[in-house]
Amino acid sequence: MVPETRQRTKALMPQPRITRHPHGITAVDTEYLRPGLAAAHVIEAGGRAAFVDVGTTHSVPYLLAALNKLGIERETVDYVLLTHVHLDHAGGAGELMRHLPNARAVLHPRGAPHLIQPEKLIAASRVVYGDEQYQRLYGDIVPIPADRVITTQDGQRISLAGRELELIHTPGHALHHQCIIDLGHSGAFTGDTFGLSYRELDTAKGAFIVPTTTPTQFDPDQLVASIERLLSYRLDSVYLMHYSRVTNVPRLGADLKAQVRELADLAQRNAHAPDLKSFLVQEMRALWLRRAREHGCTLSDARIDELLGPDIELNAQGLVAWMERQRRAA
C-alpha cells in the first residue's frame, strides 16, 4: 500500500475504545451489541503482537484501528488466538487475517474445521437468527485458509517473541473451548470458561461475576473442572471476553463454581416444570439480583435486567439443552 493510500485508510478508520492493562495487554471493544459487552485483547511482546478473540466481521475495522492507535504494524501480528468458534468471539477471524499477512489462527482441533469451512456454521446460525438478524449481528464469515491454522494439543505452548503462552483445553461452555495461560505474568485469557463480568456491576468489593451456561454444549461438571484447572495456575489476573480484566481470581472462581452447581441443581430438581425455560429465567434473575445486592450493587433492577437479561435468556436455554441431553442419554 502506497503511503498516501495508507494515510487515507487510517483517516477513515473508526475510533476504537481501548483499555490498556499491565504487561503489554490492551482490551479493544468489539462493539458487539453495545459498548462494554465484548472485548478482544492485544498482547504485545518484543516487537510482536497477537490477538485473543476478535469479535465479528463488523468488529474488524475497530481492531485494525486499535493496531494503528497502538503503533503496531499489521505485519508484526503473529497469532490470532481463538478461545472457541462462537461467532461473537471468532466470527471476524477470517476477515481480520486478510489484513494480517503473517498471522496464523490458533484453534482447538474441534473448532478449527468450522472456520476453515464455515458453511455449516453459517447455515446453523442463519436458522437460529434469520437472515436479516444474522447479517446485522455477524456479517459475512470469511474462511481461514487451512495452511494458516494451528490446531492445538492440550498443554501445548507457543512463543510470542519469547513470551510463553500455554493452551489448555477447557470444556464445559463448549467442547471446542481453550484458554490461554500467560505463564510469565500469572494471567489467563479465558473466553467464556471463567464467566462474564460487566464493569458496570463493579462495587467496592470488586468484580461481580456470573457463569455462562449457554447452548449447545454446556456441561456443569466439565465447566467446574475447567474453572478448577484455571485456579490451579494461581492467577493474578483473568482477561474475559465479557468484559476484560478481573482480579481477586480465587473469590471469583469460588463464586462461579457455586453458581454453576446451583443452576444445575435448580434445573434437575424442576426438570418436569411445564415451561422449564421460563421457570429458569425467573429463578436465575432472582438469584443474580440477590447476589448483586449482596455485592453492594446499587443499580436499579431495571438497569441490572438491561445488562444481564440477554445472558439470563441464553443461560436458561443452555440449561434446558443440557437437561434434554441428559434425558436422551438416560
pLDDT in tens, 10-23: 657 899 999 999 99
Q: How many residues are given for the chain?
A: 330
Cα-based distances in Å from 248 to 245, 254, 256, 269, 277:
11, 11, 13, 32, 32
* The pLDDT value given to residue 125: 87
Phi, psi at 106, each rounded to 5°: -115, 115
pLDDT tens-place string over residues 88-114: 999 999 999 999 999 999 999 999 999
- Which three cell numbers mark 197? 463480568
Query: Is residue 76 very low, low, confident or very high in pLDDT (cuts 50, 70, 90)?
Result: very high
Per DSSP bridges, beta strands 187-189 and 237-240 are: parallel
CB 57 within 8 A of CB 33: no
pLDDT at 128 (0 to 100): 79
Question: How far apart are alpha carbons 80 and 103 in whole angstroms?
Answer: 6
The model carries a pTM of 0.95
pLDDT on residue 51 = 99
What are the angstrom distances between the C-alpha of 327 and each of 174, 263, 271, 273? 19, 17, 10, 14
Which has the minimum average pLDDT: 116-120, 128-132, 150-154? 128-132
Q: What value does the mean pLDDT take over residues 273-301?
A: 97
Q: Are strands 77-81 and 48-52 parallel, antiparallel or unpaired?
A: parallel
User: Is residue 259 scored above 70 in pLDDT?
Assistant: yes
283, three cell numbers: 429463578
Q: How far is CA 319 from CA 144, 154, 211, 281, in A?
A: 32, 27, 12, 10
For the chain, percent of residues with pLDDT exceeding 70? 97
Separation of alpha carbons 157 and 55, rounded Å? 24
Per cent of the chain over pLDDT 90 is 92
pLDDT at 7: 56
Stretch 16-39: mean pLDDT, rounded? 98
CA distance 161 to 47: 8
The single-letter DSSP state of residue 257 is H
Residue 124 has pLDDT above 70, yes or no: yes
What nine digits make up the cell of 290?
A: 440477590
Q: Grid coordinates standing for 51?
A: 490477538
Tell me the CATH number for domain 3-257. Answer: 3.60.15.10
Q: Reply yes or no on whether the pLDDT at 307 is more than 80.
A: yes
Mean per-residue pLDDT, 258-270: 97
Predicted confidence (pLDDT) per residue in 175-227, tens digit: 999 999 999 999 999 999 999 999 999 999 999 999 999 998 999 999 999 99
Taking residues 246-260, report their average pLDDT: 98
Nearest residue to 241 (alpha-carbon basis) of 297, 289, 286, 198:
198
Average pLDDT, the chain: 95
Cell 466481521 locates to 57
Q: How confident is the model at residue 6 (pLDDT cuts 50, 70, 90)?
A: low
- CA 236-237-240 angle, to 5 degrees, is 155
CA gap 176, 122 in Å, rounded: 17
The residues near 317 (Cβ < 8 Å, ≥ 6 apart) are 214, 215, 277
140's grid cell: 459475512
User: In the structure, what pLDDT confidence band is assigned to residue 3 with cuts at 50, 70 and 90?
Assistant: low
pLDDT level of residue 295 (50, 70, 90 thresholds): very high
Q: Are 199 and 35 in contact (CB under 8 A)?
A: no
Model pLDDT, residue 13: 83
